[in-house]
Amino acid sequence: MATQISVQPSAGKIGPRKHLTPQWVSLVSGGVAGGVEAAITYPFEYSKTRVQLVQHGSVARKNPFRLILDVARQEGVRSLYTGCTTLIVGTAGKAAVRFVSYDTIRNFLSDEHGKLSAGGGILAGMAAGAVESVLAVTPTERIKTALIDDAKTNRQFKSGIHAAKVLVQRQGLSELYRGLVSTTIKQSATSAVRMGTYNILKEMTKKQGIASNVFTSFGTGALAGIVTVYATQPFDTIKTRAQSVQGAGIVEAVKSLMRDYGVKGFWKGSSMRLGRLFLSGGIVFSVYEQVSGLLSPVNFD
């Protein structure tokens, strides 16, 4: 994800020239990283979504590990992976789109030494989040959320594909884009904070002379994930409410959260999301850096 520097002779002088990350490298590396991350961390996503969909007066576990154990014992381990295939495909797609968008904008905004400012990193992340929301995230999140919501009661959906067909038959193709605005806001904010924080932390480690390897990538990615959770959780909670089986508008989702739980309701499911984004931040960035390093003719630092 870094823009590289090489020394090239030019008109008798030696100066820096930044190597741009090839878009196909960003696409493949991002897709692999997203798929691996989703498969490993899905139980946390499942438990987070279950808690966010609980109505007022219902009892729900706040401890993500306890909720996961309870679901596994009462409903079977397979229940923890309800909607998993949809999320893996969607996460691989959105991560590919995110990194292509981010690296493209990063290449444009970075200076002649390949350095990206803190503001530039946030701006690139925000734009990448908006693009991935429209192209990949909203439809897959709508299906995943509907599957998890449906599994609590009726179980009318047999699979992700079946859920998509039913939803489209009921309301048309636009039904897959229910919650587009809330999802785009959430993705833009999440990507801006996550990618921006990762960029800042990575520049800090470079200044400290810390070697860039899989461990530092995992550590900085995990820290970026922690910051992202608490900074953007309200957007995620509103998005989940808006994408339940019945669906809801942003205003209705906000009102229902305030009515049921008050202001603290906007951070509902944050502990579950923390478990996932802590791991996912470390996994997705470290896998991305490793895969891109293998694919690119340039040695990534």
Predicted confidence at residue 252, as pLDDT, reads 83
3-state SS track over the chain:
CCCEEEEEEECCEEEEEEECCCHHHHHHHHHHHHHHHHHHHHHHHHHHHHHHHCCCCCCCCCCHHHHHHHHHHHHCHHHHHCCHHHHHHHHHHHHHHHHHHHHHHHHHHCCCCCCCCHHHHHHHHHHHHHHHHHHHHHHHHHHHHHHHHHHCCCCCCCCHHHHHHHHHHHHCHHHHHCCHHHHHHHHHHHHHHHHHHHHHHHHHHHHCCCCCCHHHHHHHHHHHHHHHHHHHHHHHHHHHHHCCCCCCCHHHHHHHHHHHHCHHHHHCCHHHHHHHHHHHHHHHHHHHHHHHHHHCCCCCC
- pLDDT of 179-229, one tens digit each? 788 788 888 988 999 999 998 998 899 888 888 889 999 999 999 999 998
pLDDT < 50: residue spans in the chain:
2-16, 58-59, 299-301
- pLDDT of 58-71, one tens digit each? 445 555 577 778 88
Q: Which domains does the chain have, with CATH numbers?
A: 22-294 (1.50.40.10)
Q: What is the pTM of this model?
A: 0.67
